[in-house]
Each structure stands twice: as structure tokens, then as C-alpha cells.
Structure 1
């Protein structure tokens, strides 16, 4: 019986060398690879294998990418280290009736065993690649944690030597000027115009190939990157955390914090009108114990504007159906929050503990606490715009409860603003709380804070209350001195009723410390002239008065 003719298999040979070194030699690596393949093809001549004369040689091509001139490699794991990539290649080969053969590893994809062997080898290659990647990532993380600069585009203001950042004095002045101008001008658009007028340009440097780059006008995007780069305060950023760097800082921490606050305010759309006298600094930050936000609102009465924070339910639904909602005087809440934060920033021992800063020198500790006190001073005495900008930047959320106020502060910015050398993540918070009492009067709720919070703040003198107490004391003195013979005589002289005089007279016997607090504007928030004269039966004992009035 005639023997069937063996089908001819045309075999292409592909060779590759990563570098061009040695290719000029008469016999190089590409020739050696091709000879090995030709010898193997000759050994398979009985299977009909025939080498085609076309040479597929790639000298100086890396195998690290799929975008290559050829698809076969000298070793299987040089073809690809990704099993998914190899599966796609085999799928393409199968569509065109092409088999893959490894000369040095003695298998091909025409058999099931060959396919299994390839998959196993590629799985190990992929595993090795992933382990190597993890080691590289771990090394980068460890290096950055030590404050090492790990390369990339060289930042304006620095040169590099032995992989370390060194200050470039001329460029450093440009960087400092950019930060100062931004704080002065308040927006990047105007900053860009000022930078262009001064002729400041991007960093000039040369590539490894000797080509010069940089020296161009600084774009707005580049300005944003400069202003938000913690490298300039001596920090190295990695995955949302800041680590103390080994390089010298160009910008003071308080300057950078002020710039970040301005950037955050602008980016979040919190631009306030120039000259705004009463910005709602807790807008979007104030919630109740259920997480429902309180919205800023206002009312105008007798030409005076009254601001409030109101539960959404009281705005969107009928107020009568939601008597549990909040309607808080904005000034009282904002003032209380500012006082609580300022007290925390000036409590020197507790602040070091809260920020988690230990083991620093006495000088570093003093500088950090002085900067914290400066922040507190801005909150207490700054302009409305300054207070609102700083408060919005450091406050994450304020929670109003039935018996306390809770405040979550962004610890990362506090650490930077105070110059504390500590690693932080964006999720780190400094939690504060203070007891508070809320007393309802109609639809409005009055906020009553402890005396410790009340006493150190500038008073808000209640003119009507002060006038009422003064009248009571004057009328009592007139009676005692015989200048007025009776309550009716005082009523006739003042044009009021005798009943009104009799209601006011007990106020002449208020405890001296309560009178002093009224004079300074430090009286309890719910203490008013109307309440004293119409709602309360004032006892004569001073201790009972203090208990009744919450003073």
C-alpha cells in the first residue's frame, strides 16, 4: 500500500537581542540563535518541517512590551510573562493553523502536553513578575518612608546629585515668590499673569540624550502642581501619606497651609464675596446626630439680618410636622465651634498627645505650639473671611447632639500647619467634643455652653437686658433713698404701669457675679430681659439664682 505523503510545514525563525552591543561582530547572538533553530528544524525533517529563507532578526529590541516586530522568543517566558497575553497569541496562531515551538525547551503546541507545559511555565513567569513588582513597590514605599526622593521630573527649585535633592538658590526664590504671590492675589489666574510679567519659567534641564528642555512659561496647571506639592515643605508624599524628607524645605509650613486652605476654598467653590461680613463658615459641615445636614438660612427683621442653621426637614416639609428639627442661631453655633477648636489648639500638653507627636526636640515642640497658638488667634480675632477660610479647611464635620457638640478636624493639615513631623493619612481626624445644652424657645433653639467656653470669648452685650437690670437697680435706690415714695410714683414718673415696676424690682437683687457677666456680655445665651421679667420667679438667694439661670 502506498505511503501517504507527509505534509510540508514551513518554519519561520525569529531571533532577538535586547541591546545592540556585539551586533557588529561577524558571528553574534542572533546567528547562534538561528543556527540552533535551523538544527532543530532539520531534526524534524521526517515531519515535513522546512525552514523558510526569510530571516526575522531583531537586534536591540526589548521584550518588555507586546508592541514588538515578532511574536516568538528564544525562551517561552521571553515571549510573554503574562498568561493572558499568551492565551491571546495562541488564539491568533490557532486561527491561522500556526503552531508554536520552543527549540531550547523541547515542546510545541501541536500536542496537549505541549500546551500544558507552556501554560505551567508561563504561570511561573507571571508569578515571578508579580513578586518582582511587589518587591519594587515595597522598596519604593520603604525609601519614601525614609524621606528619599525616588526620581521623576525634577521639581523647580532643586537640583539632583547622587539621587539627592539639593536646593537651587535662584529657582528657590522663584518658588517662594510663587507662593507669596498666590497668597497676595488669591487665585491662580491672576498668579499666572503676575508670573508671566516677571518672566519666570519652568526648570531648565537636559535629558540623558543631551537634549535641552524647559525654560518655557509656567502654565496654570504647572502652578497648581507647584502650590500643592508637599516636597516644598520638606515632605515626601506616598499613597496619601506625608513623610519627613531628607531634603531641605523651601516653604514654611504655615505658608503652605495657608496656600492649601486657599486652594481648597477655591476648588470647592467656596469663594466668598469680597467684603462679606458674615459668611456661613459651617455651611456643608454641620450635621445632627442622625447625619442630616443643617442648611444656612436667614431672616430680616427691622432691617437686621438674622442667620440660622436649619434642619432640611424644616425647609422642605411643614415645620409643624417636624418639631424635632433644629433651628440654631448661626452666630452662637459658629462661635461655640471656634471656641472649642481654639481651646484645643492652645492646650499645649493635650495638643501634643492629640497630634501623636513625641520624641521631638524642645525647640521643635515650642515652634509647633507657637504655630498652633497662631492658628487659634486667627480663628478668634481674624477677619470673617480669614476665620471662614481656616475653619472650612481644617474642619471635616461638626455634629450637633442633644447634650454635646462633636468636631472632627483634619489632622493632616493641622500637622502640616503646625510643623509637626508626623506621618498622617487623609483619613486621620482629631476628634473634639464639648458639653452643651439646647433650650427651645418657640421654633428657635438657644445654645448654652459651659462657663469655661463662654468666659474667654468677647462678650455680646444684650442692650435690652442691661437696660432692664440698670432700671431695676436705679428704682430700688430711689426707693431706698426716699426719692420715690412708692412703686406707683415711679410708674407715674416713667410712664409705665405699677405692675411693670414690680416685675423689674427683683432684678435689683441679682447676684453680683451674674450682673458682672451681663455687663461683659457673658450671660447664658437664653437669658433675656423678657425671660427675667415675664417667665421666671426669681429667688432672692444668690445660689438659687445661679442654679435657675444656669450661670
Structure 2
């Protein structure tokens, strides 16, 4: 029996009462013969011991560095998935309930976290925690040189802060993080037994921005990145509106911008967003669903008060 055949057997969800079809795990009609927790532990071991770990690109850069480390408040593990759209790859960490089919009616209670944004926020939380505790009790009785060297490592943008993570628990309003004493010590060149174990666990307050089943999780003080595509469309909309008020026809405007008349009519809609909405968009504080694509697919009231009410309720 080949190694590949053995690997296929060990990664087959058939043994936990499920079947896999086109990358989606479905509930089977047969009983499980091993426990789900045991099966997931095997997947983690396979990933850690493989020559090119699962969840890692052949270039050596992990595509899901927090695999096996993220849990919800009930202790269920989130798993990495990805989708392709218009040639672009989108990575997520999702609850098992959102991965299996048929999807439960209460699917909005699960987590679907955009991977890169989530990882960036976890890394930022770790960096802030270490910078704060290093000067207090991270390494008791630390020498000045040790603190100086560790400070440089923590501040270095090239430091792999995610490798220090042992466990992340995602809950409403907070993240509970646990750092690995061994990996933290290795990164800081500090003997692990010198690191204060009480400094390895900390919480980070968060706020949620939901868009359907997708959730953006923001640390306190964070804002969503500016949507430059949406901002550009607003600017184009106002430029086209100026052309219209100057008496130019839709056909002339379309030819001037190298687009169709229908496209001109669509872009013009962006010129009627309320000043309050535009200010939020420029500052990166708009609702997470409010994108250029959403605006093109939905009817937006011309009345600014109605707009603001719609955006608050959506």
C-alpha cells in the first residue's frame, strides 16, 4: 500500500459518519466508527508532520497558519477553506456547521472569518500584548539587554507572531488568546522556563461586522480598510453628474469615458449617496456590506434620510 493510499484513508471523513463530495463534507447515512475529535487530531498530526504541510503552499508560505488553533466559545474548531472568484483566491476560517451540507437554517450563528484580515488582527493583538507585558512581567528579573533584544524582535514586521499562537477562542465581544511558551521563547531567544506562564493568556475586546454569513472581527480601535473601488466610483459618479448638468448626452459621456451608456447610468447612482454615507466610506467606517457591487445590485433611495435608515438596518 502506497503512502498516498494511506494518507487518503487517514483523511477520509467516511469514518466519522460523513462523506465528501466536491470539497464539501456532508452528513452520511452510516454510523461513525471513530470519534470526531480523534479524527481531527489525526488531521492535525498529518499536517504537522508532512513534508509540505497541508494548508501551506509549496513556496513555504502558509496559506492558513492558524489551522487547528481557532475554536468557538463551545470548543468547536474552525477549519480553513477557500473559494475562487474571478481568478482570485479568498481564504476563510469557518465553523464546521457552515461547511457541512445541507446548511442548517441557523447558519448565521456560525463563524466565517476572512483569513488574511483575521490573521492580521491576531498578529496585532499579540504584538500589543507582548509590548505591554515585556516591560512588566513577561520575563521576570529580565536583564536590560534581554528586554532590548526582545523589544526589537517584537517590533520587527518580519517576526512571525502567528507561530507563537497556541489557541484562539472566538467569542462575541472578545478573543481569548493563549501563546505557546516554547514557541514564544524560541522567537525571543529566551529559555521557555523563564517566561511567566501567567502572561501567556490574554483577551482582546472586539466588535463584529456581519455581511450575510461572513463576519469581520475588529479589535477595539480598528477600522475597516478604505474601499478604494467604491471611492473611485463615487468620484466618477460626480464627474458624470457634472457632465449631465452641463448638457452632455449619455452617449457623449459614455464615449468620453470609454464605457457603455448603461454603465454611465449605473455609475451615476453613486453620485446620490448621502454626504454622511460618503464621509463614512472615505474614513473606512461604512457598514461592511456597503460595497460598489452591492450598490450596483440594490435599489438605493434618493432621499438621504431613507438611505441612512436603510444602511443602519441592513
Bin of the TM-score, shorter chain as denominator length = 0.5 to 0.7
1:312 pairs with one of 92, 96, 100: 96
Compared with structure 1, are the counterparts of its residues 398 and 426 closer, same or farther at alpha carbon in structure 2 (3 Å cutoff)? same
Q: Within 5 Å, which residues of 2 pair with 1:36-51?
A: none
Post-superposition shift, 1:293? 0.9
Give the match's secondary structure for 1:319: coil
Compared with structure 1, are the counterparts of its residues 535 and 496 closer, same or farther at alpha carbon in structure 2 (3 Å cutoff)? closer
Post-superposition shift, 1:400? 1.8
Give the match's secondary structure for 1:400: strand
Give the match's secondary structure for 1:496: helix
* Pair 1:423-2:203 in alignment: no
Judge conservation of contact 1:514–1:523 (CA < 8 Å) in 2: yes
Post-superposition shift, 1:437? 0.3
* Pair 1:446-2:215 in alignment: yes
CA distance in 2, matches of 1:437, 1:354: 31
Judge conservation of contact 1:491–1:501 (CA < 8 Å) in 2: no
CA distance in 2, matches of 1:285, 1:535: 41
Structure ID, larger Rg: 1
* Pair 1:298-2:82 in alignment: yes
Compared with structure 1, are the counterparts of its residues 479 and 495 closer, same or farther at alpha carbon in structure 2 (3 Å cutoff)? closer
Partner of 1:353: 136
Give the alignment's TM-score, normalised by structure 2. Answer: 0.63
Judge conservation of contact 2:273–2:304 (CA < 8 Å) in 1: no
1:353-406 Cα deviation digits (max 9, x unpaired)? 362x354454443232122223xx125xxxxxxx4xx52x31111122233333
Judge conservation of contact 1:295–1:310 (CA < 8 Å) in 2: yes
Give the match's secondary structure for 1:284: coil
Post-superposition shift, 1:330? 2.2
CA distance in 2, matches of 1:427, 1:413: 16
Post-superposition shift, 1:286? 1.3
1:100-121 Cα deviation digits (max 9, x unpaired)? xxxxxxxxxxxxxxxxxxxxxx
Give the match's secondary structure for 1:333: helix
Partner of 1:328: 113
Partner of 2:152: 370
Q: Within 5 Å, which residues of 2 pair with 1:104-123?
A: none
Gaps of 5+ in 2: 1-44
Compared with structure 1, are the counterparts of its residues 515 and 372 closer, same or farther at alpha carbon in structure 2 (3 Å cutoff)? same
Partner of 2:68: 284
1:210-235 Cα deviation digits (max 9, x unpaired)? xxxxxxxxxxxxxxxxxxxxxxxxxx
Partner of 1:472: 237
Judge conservation of contact 1:472–1:505 (CA < 8 Å) in 2: yes
Judge conservation of contact 1:394–1:410 (CA < 8 Å) in 2: yes
Post-superposition shift, 1:287? 1.2
2:178 pairs with one of 408, 412, 422: 408
Judge conservation of contact 2:69–2:165 (CA < 8 Å) in 1: yes
- Larger RCO (CA under 8 A, 6+ residues apart): 2
Compared with structure 1, are the counterparts of its residues 349 and 300 closer, same or farther at alpha carbon in structure 2 (3 Å cutoff)? closer
Partner of 1:218: none
1:529 pairs with one of 270, 279, 292: 292
How many residue pairs get aligned? The number is 258
Post-superposition shift, 1:425? 7.8
Post-superposition shift, 1:291? 0.8
Compared with structure 1, are the counterparts of its residues 451 and 402 closer, same or farther at alpha carbon in structure 2 (3 Å cutoff)? closer
1:192-250 Cα deviation digits (max 9, x unpaired)? xxxxxxxxxxxxxxxxxxxxxxxxxxxxxxxxxxxxxxxxxxxxxxxxxxxxxxxxxxx
Compared with structure 1, are the counterparts of its residues 509 and 274 closer, same or farther at alpha carbon in structure 2 (3 Å cutoff)? same
Give the alignment's TM-score, normalised by structure 1. Answer: 0.39
1:521-544 Cα deviation digits (max 9, x unpaired)? x86644311344536658859xx7
CA distance in 2, matches of 1:488, 1:337: 50
CA distance in 2, matches of 1:497, 1:267: 50
Compared with structure 1, are the counterparts of its residues 539 and 408 closer, same or farther at alpha carbon in structure 2 (3 Å cutoff)? farther
CA distance in 2, matches of 1:429, 1:504: 48
Partner of 2:273: 507
Compared with structure 1, are the counterparts of its residues 275 and 469 closer, same or farther at alpha carbon in structure 2 (3 Å cutoff)? same
Compared with structure 1, are the counterparts of its residues 440 and 361 closer, same or farther at alpha carbon in structure 2 (3 Å cutoff)? same
CA distance in 2, matches of 1:498, 1:280: 41
Compared with structure 1, are the counterparts of its residues 295 and 306 closer, same or farther at alpha carbon in structure 2 (3 Å cutoff)? same
Compared with structure 1, are the counterparts of its residues 532 and 450 closer, same or farther at alpha carbon in structure 2 (3 Å cutoff)? farther
CA distance in 2, matches of 1:334, 1:368: 22
Post-superposition shift, 1:423? 3.0
